[in-house]
C-alpha cells in the first residue's frame, strides 16, 4: 500500500494506491492556521479510518511551502519515515525543455508524468484547480511548457471581494447564457467566459506546437467536471491524475 498526498492551495488530497487509487479524502488547506500537531491528528484520523498499518511508502507533492514541513513532520511522527517529496530532480520519465524547471509546481510535474504514462501522443493537460494550468508534453516525453490563468473559484471570489454589490455565488452550471438576475449573470460570465478562454489557449497551443492537430487534451482538478461540458476538444477527464502521477514517480525512484 502506497500513501499519496497532494498539498494544493485550496485542498490537501490524500489517498492510497492498492491495485488502484482508493479512499481519496480532502481537507481544506489553511497555510497559517495549523501546526504540525493538528496535521498529525488529521492524518491519524485518516489512517485509523482506513485501517492503514504499515504502508510500503509514501509520496507527496506540494505547492504550499509553509505547509510542507509541518505535514512531513506529522507523517514522520505516525509512520517513522518521511514521504518522497516531488521535485523536477527526481526520475520522472520526462525531459524538461523549459528555462526554469525549478519553478515548476510539483502538482504539474505529477500531472505531466501521469499523462505521459497513461495516454498516447502529444498531450495538453489542463488542471482546473485554484488556478487553471496548462501543460504541454510531447509524445517523446518532452515537457514543453504551458500557461496559467486564474481558476473558477478565484474569479468568483474576486468579483465578490472587489465590488460593492456583487454577491458571493456558489459555482454551478448556468441555466442559460442570458442571465435574468445578478447571480445568473455572474455564473454565465464566469463559466462560459472561462470555457471560451480555455478553448482559445488550446487552439493556440495546437497551432504553435502541433499544426497537424495530432494532440490529446486531458483534464483534471476539482472544477473539471463542472467546466468540461462547455469546452470542445477535451478527450478525457481523470480526477485522480495527480495521484496517479505521484504513484508513478514513487515507482520510478524506489
- Yes or no: say if 5 and 71 are a contact pair by the CB < 8 Å rule: yes
Return d(Cα 252, Cα 215) in angstroms, integer.
Answer: 26
What 3-state DSSP class applies to 224? helix
**Residue among 85, 88, 63 at smallest CA distance from 75:** 85
Which position among 107, 127, 180, 181 bears the catalytic label? 107
CB-based contacts of 154, cutoff 8 Å, min separation 6: 130, 131
- Strands 122-128 and 131-137, by their bridges, are antiparallel
Backbone angles phi, psi at 124, to 5 degrees: -115, 125
- Known active-site residue 37: no
Which residues are identified as catalytic? 107
Amino acid at each position: 500500500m502506497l500513501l499519496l498526498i497532494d498539498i494544493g492551495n485550496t485542498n490537501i488530497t490524500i489517498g492510497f494506491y492498492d491495485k488502484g487509487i482508493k479512499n481519496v479524502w480532502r481537507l481544506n488547506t489553511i497555510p497559517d492556521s495549523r501546526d504540525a500537531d493538528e496535521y498529525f491528528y488529521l492524518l491519524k484520523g485518516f489512517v485509523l479510518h482506513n485501517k492503514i498499518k504499515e504502508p510500503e511508502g509514501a509520496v507527496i507533492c506540494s505547492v504550499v511551502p509553509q505547509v510542507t514541513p509541518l505535514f512531513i513532520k506529522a507523517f514522520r511522527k505516525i509512520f517513522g519515515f518521511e514521504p518522497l517529496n516531488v521535485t523536477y530532480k527526481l526520475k520522472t520519465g520526462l525531459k524538461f525543455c523549459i528555462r526554469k524547471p525549478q519553478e515548476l509546481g510539483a502538482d504539474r510535474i505529477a500531472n505531466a508524468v501521469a499523462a505521459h504514462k497513461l495516454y498516447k501522443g502529444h498531450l495538453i493537460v489542463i488542471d482546473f484547480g485554484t488556478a487553471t494550468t496548462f501543460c504541454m508534453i510531447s509524445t517523446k516525453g518532452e515537457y514543453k511548457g504551458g500557461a496559467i490563468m486564474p481558476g473558477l473559484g478565484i474569479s468568483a471570489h474576486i468579483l465578490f471581494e472587489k465590488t460593492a454589490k456583487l454577491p458571493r455565488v456558489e459555482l454551478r452550471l448556468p441555466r442559460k447564457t442570458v442571465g435574468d438576475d445578478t447571480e445568473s449573470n455572474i455564473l454565465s460570465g464566469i463559466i462560459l467566459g472561462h470555457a471560451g478562454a480555455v478553448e482559445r489557449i488550446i487552439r493556440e497551443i495546437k497551432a504553435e506546437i502541433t499544426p497537424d492537430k495530432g494532440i490529446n487534451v486531458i483534464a483534471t482538478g476539482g472544477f473539471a467536471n463542472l467546466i468540461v461540458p462547455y469546452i470542445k476538444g477535451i478527450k478525457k477527464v481523470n480526477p485522480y491524475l495527480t495521484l496517479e502521477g505521484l504513484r508513478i514517480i514513487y515507482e520510478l525512484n524506489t
